[in-house]
Structure 1
């Protein structure tokens, strides 16, 4: 019985190995968000947050850039009007979970139920059913993959990040961290809220956006949401 439980636990958590960014880029590029070579997908996690997300929307509007926001259901519940505003502005919402608890700490039924709850709330308040899911911390489990298949959600993690959630992050540090992986086909991870990170950390990502967009433009790269990134909805991790 102990052996069975251990084996089952290992199997349940095995997909979490995809959290290793370099490995997933090499072995599962679609899961890492590697898309069209002339496009960079811009994504944000943990919102919507009335204190910070409107500032991101304003900068993105000025830059004429749209993005994908992986939102928490609990945050959407607190600010449904803001979620609707994001979609009305042309941005895409994806499922990040109801809260930020690791999916490895949830069983299959709990995982399915809270992803379903988040998906349905997004659809209700925006009129647009989400297409993508990114679990908190980018940690997958068998439960996430099974729920994603049942709910017709495609898991997408990222290939480049700015480490913008830390207390000492600055726009310059975000850009420097992104630089080695900022190339055509990349999916960029940033945060538009500090609800799960250091207070005010979102300012580093916000301040980096104009230069990030400029660098992509100089390289001849389009910046936009995952919907324009050329990912297939029927990949290895999309309908497992």
Structure 2
């Protein structure tokens, strides 16, 4: 990717798309540096990586009155754990995505008279920050059982995990239900897919994040698949997935 001006970042916070209410998003990830210097260190300080952490900080224009808006979703998520996904360019299939399971740590609202009402908030990681791709775009409504477009993530070696975050942004219809899963195969044809992760059935907006147990995966291609039931059901959702 060449040098880039941030014009179309996307922010998915559990079950809300906060992209249109955001004008600043910052990601950070770090490891504690632990001093391991000894008499054989050659006169130079030695360090080892300790505990890792990540943080997502955002701000923008305040809105309220609906679960999809920043005030409602932030208060609902405050102090809780859930999936958060940030895309620096767009959220089409295979777009670069960073995501984690994090705690909504704080929420700030307010400004001086005459100013556009702002918001700001931070998410503290509970899982590693994963660099991956979008597996399903948020702007495509799904009304029936189906499968998404394959993306190539590569194989996962022993000790690595496949991570996937599901953001159900809206649900409509009578008793709608969606059960999404992540499948893998040796190539993009998906002649013999293997289910790697299965999310709980969802009937309303919300978020889930899953990961495998660290067993090696030799497949290199992955896709989202889903089963939808109900009367005239319709779901809008986004999925990010990656290996770390």
TM-score (norm 1): 0.29
Relative contact order (C-alpha < 8 Å, sep 6+): which is higher? 1
Higher strand share: 2
Which structure has the greater CA radius of gyration?
2
Higher helix share: 1
TM-score (norm 2): 0.28
